[in-house]
Structure 1
Amino acid sequence: ILPKPGADGIYYMIHGTLDNEQTLTAQYLYLSVIDMSLNGGLGAVTIKNQVLIDDALNEGKITAVRHANGRDWWVFCHKAFSNVYYRLLVTPSGVSVDGTQSIGTYRPEDAGQTCFSPDGSKYAYYWGIEDLDIYDFDRCTGLFSDPVHIAIDDYNTSGGVAFSPDSRYLYVSSVLDAYQFDAEAPDVVASMAHIAHWDGFYSPFDPFATLFELSQLANDGKVYMSTGNSTFHLHVIHDPDAGGLACNMEQHGVELPVWFSNSLANHPNYHLGPVDGSVCDSLGINLGVAEAVVQQALQVYPNPSAGVFTLQYAAQPEAGVLEVRDLAGKLMLRERLPAWSQVHHVALEHAAGLYNCQLAWGDQRVNTRIVVVP
């Protein structure tokens, strides 16, 4: 789902369906338009299932990233039985097919997952049989380059990928195993770290195994991973900006209130701005967030609390720091705020009282206070 450039309250939903269960392909890429000003603010679909592409497409490979001009969007999907990517452009004039590019691994019908790094500079494609491809990406031209193919020594027919908030580390969920790759390493293949093997946990009972499937970077700066089955759990990577086992992957670490199948939200980085200084940075767009706006956006809840609370704030392109101090200025807690995150969960194990929370990104600082009750 993408906001229509220059049209507040209008959203484009670009979607497909599994038209051939034997080959795991979609025959159409559709566009539907949503107007949130209608139906008393609940929104309504004004255009439904307008065909954008009529071709055999690999399922679940619809991925978007902000154009280098900071306003438009690139959208990609993959043609089945080929190495061809369809490239679409989203502008104030609408959604159109901008062209195709042949690059990287030939891929027949598949499942798996694709994603862009939060900074838009890299793209990853993973499916267990054809394994992993990583590309550089030019947000100005919409072209991929410098493909790196990584053969992972296991076999499965599914899996997922997600980047860390700082865009350095790539996580691959490969059904029975999970891996980390350093996308900035001179030898990306050699950087592979094995971070988890399925621990045999079932949810709620056999045969509903909590395996490693689709992955998604969330707005709290953590990577969440589905289980590939209908279960009551998700896996979570708590510190995805850290290398190796320090990324702190917790298997079945999130217990869900309902039986959950296997889908995860497919959100691009809505906060990514223009590529400053590029030839495409011609619209005068500045998505930087002024300190006054950051202060206004800062919320804490519940307040008062028993020491467990959530901070909500405007997304920033760099990592920040949270410091919690008592009224005497004594440091009670210091934690990292991942780049692009918007919420941070705090567990303050100290005496009841009034505490100051300061969030800092470089020279920019904002403050709020929390009341902790017994």
Structure 2
Amino acid sequence: MKLRIILVCILVWNHAQSQFTDRFWAFGDSAAIDFSNLSNPVSGESILRSRGTCVSICDSLGGLLFYAGSPNTNLWPMTTVNFLGYVVNKDHQLMEDGDTIVSNQNYQEMAIVPNPGNEKQFYLFSGGVTPTTNPGFYWSLIDLGYNNGLGKVIQKNVQLQNFPVNDGLAAVKHGNGRDWWVIHKRYEPNVFTDEFYLYLVTAAGVQPQPIQFTGRPSKNNNLRIKFSPSGNKMAVHEAGNNLDVYDFDRCTGVISNQTIVHDTSTINVNCLYWSTEFSPDETKLYLTTIPYGNNDSISCLIQFDLEAPDIQASMDTIQVFPEPFICGFVKLAPDSQIYLSHMTIEEDCEFFYLYCDTTYYPEIMNLSVIHQPNELRALCDFRPYSFYLGGHRSYHGLPNNPNYELGPLAGSVCDTLITSVSQVPVFEPAQLKLFFHTGWRQLFVNGQQLKGKQGSLALYSVTGQLLRREEFSIQPPYYTRQWDLTGTAAGLYIVVLETEKERVSGRVVVE
């Protein structure tokens, strides 16, 4: 019988105690912005080369910790099945074991969330948004305690779901100011679905929550979710021109009170809705569109007044952009201004929409900026192509970073943290997570809650024949390994991980 002596501590967190920030953006073709001085943001440099997906995180002083994206042809060759995500350390080098993160080379398929139980660890969530290439929802674990702060990916591609998800993962801090919510929608081709999937990230790990069936059903994987600065509201739009705003309860994770901002059945916009962003005071919602089909080949920046009696009627076009230069993403920056990326569709010299080495235009070498986003219409002070990227180029994407500086929900039932400290720790049992990537022919092995330091990993046939075995040393509680199973026949196999203190096993299907 385990004796547990519990000490209860009530900790009040406030905004000033925020440990992480969103002060370095890495995006596009080697572009970056350093917001460590909020009164004077400056262009920087990264090693990204991504048309869309990019994420980053900084310490409390704005110092870069690491960033990630998908894909990067500067790091390895691309193939039609090799949609690689990757993690880059603060020295702008590929992090140890930072390759082969499951992704689809889309736009907002990643999110970084700090581990509430370890200040040096971070979850990198990633999604596969197509049914044919890397479908599913995954997390990898990054530990900056390795390599003198440069970090290492210590768990990789742990699968939470095996179906395609929307290209627009989102994260927001829990009302207690410490834990996190992560959210996505299910995507099923040509089938309307209204399923929101939420996960609560705590010191105990990633905990799936009950599915919420709410809002308008959607059938497009080009669906994005954007939380407001306070985290109390959530904008959801799909490419087919439906745009809604919901209330979000940061304490319970409940999505409610749908407000229709735009309905394609009542207002026809011949374009694709691309990205949204709230103004700092949450009274305005900005939207970008891109050309689609037989339209007039323009993209737009649009503003909605969320306080108007008729929100749809408040729709105002701030700027029109003719092809070949079209809108990308809008994102609220730490300096309380909203930045807009651009790309050109004039040339496509490399795999999957990457620019030629000779494609340099002012329209893609600058970002546009909304200087007064709380104001209506022209008073918002939109300045096109006004932030120079120092010779680098933008594509569609800007970082899909949450508001790391968001504090607890003051006055709510969860604005304090109650933590239990036991003199006799209760250990979780060891676990073995297995994921076989069909396209890459790679088996990702992730051991968790391990206590042993020396062990072995073995692969058996279902008849008990030993096919492969290797010994290892680990630093508990995690062990991760990537095995190349090229040439292995299709079938069911048994994987056994054994240390001097435990033995765990699992089954994997090689297709």
Q: TM-score, normalised by structure 1?
A: 0.68
Q: Which of 154, 160, 171 is the aligned partner of 1:52?
A: 160
Q: Which of 381, 385, 394 is the aligned partner of 1:260?
A: 394
Aligned residues: 273
Partner of 1:245, secondary structure, is helix
Q: Does 1:68 align with 2:175?
A: yes
Match of 1:7 in 2: 118
Q: Does 1:162 align with 2:277?
A: yes
**Cα RMSD for the two superposed structures:** 2.1
Q: Deviations over 1:74-103 (max 9, x none)?
A: 111011141111011110111121121111
How many angstroms does 1:181 deviate by?
1.6
How many angstroms does 1:233 deviate by?
3.1
How many angstroms does 1:160 deviate by?
0.5
Output the amino acid matched with 2:310: D
Q: Does 1:41 align with 2:149?
A: yes
Match of 1:91 in 2: 202
Q: Does structure 2 conserve the Cα–Cα contact (< 8 Å) formed by 1:128 and 1:155?
A: no
Distance 2:307 2:405 in 1: 22
Q: Which of 400, 406, 412 is the aligned partner of 1:272?
A: 406
Output the amino acid matched with 1:282: T
Q: Does 1:282 align with 2:438?
A: no
Query: Counterparts in 2 of 1:147-226, with a 5 A limit?
Result: 147-149=258-260, 150-151=262-263, 152-175=267-290, 176-198=299-321, 200=322, 209-226=324-341
Q: Does structure 2 conserve the Cα–Cα contact (< 8 Å) formed by 1:76 and 1:88?
A: yes
Distance 2:172 2:308 in 1: 23
How many angstroms does 1:26 deviate by?
6.1
Match of 2:374 in 1: 241
Q: Deviations over 1:161-198 (max 9, x none)?
A: 01112222110111212211222344322332221111
Match of 1:78 in 2: 185
Match of 2:491 in 1: none
Moved more, 69-78 or 220-229: 220-229
Q: Does structure 1 conserve the Cα–Cα contact (< 8 Å) formed by 2:332 and 2:338?
A: yes
Distance 1:243 1:5 in 2: 39
Moved more, 27-36 or 158-167: 158-167
Distance 1:118 1:35 in 2: 27
> Against the structure 1 CA distance between its residues 154 and 223, is the aligned structure 2 distance closer, same or farther, given a 3 Å change threshold?
same
Q: Does structure 2 conserve the Cα–Cα contact (< 8 Å) formed by 1:114 and 1:124?
A: yes
Match of 1:135 in 2: 246
Output the amino acid matched with 2:336: G
Structure 1 unaligned segments of length 5 or more: list them.
201-206, 286-374
Q: Does structure 2 conserve the Cα–Cα contact (< 8 Å) formed by 1:107 and 1:130?
A: no
Output the amino acid matched with 1:259: R
Structure 2 unaligned segments of length 5 or more: list them.
1-111, 291-298, 345-354, 356-363, 420-511
Distance 2:134 2:368 in 1: 28
> Against the structure 1 CA distance between its residues 276 and 63, is the aligned structure 2 distance closer, same or farther, given a 3 Å change threshold?
same
Distance 1:18 1:234 in 2: 27
How many angstroms does 1:217 deviate by?
1.0
> Against the structure 1 CA distance between its residues 210 and 255, is the aligned structure 2 distance closer, same or farther, given a 3 Å change threshold?
farther
Q: Does structure 2 conserve the Cα–Cα contact (< 8 Å) formed by 1:52 and 1:96?
A: no
Match of 1:124 in 2: 235
Match of 1:232 in 2: 365
Partner of 1:51, secondary structure, is strand
Match of 1:342 in 2: none
Match of 1:360 in 2: none
Q: Deviations over 1:122-142 (max 9, x none)?
A: 101223314211111111111
Distance 1:181 1:277 in 2: 30
Distance 1:114 1:250 in 2: 26
Distance 1:184 1:139 in 2: 22
Query: Does 1 or 2 have the higher relative contact order (CA < 8 Å, sep 6+)?
Result: 2
Distance 1:252 1:110 in 2: 30
How many angstroms does 1:68 deviate by?
1.1
Query: Counterparts in 2 of 1:303-342, with a 5 A limit?
Result: none
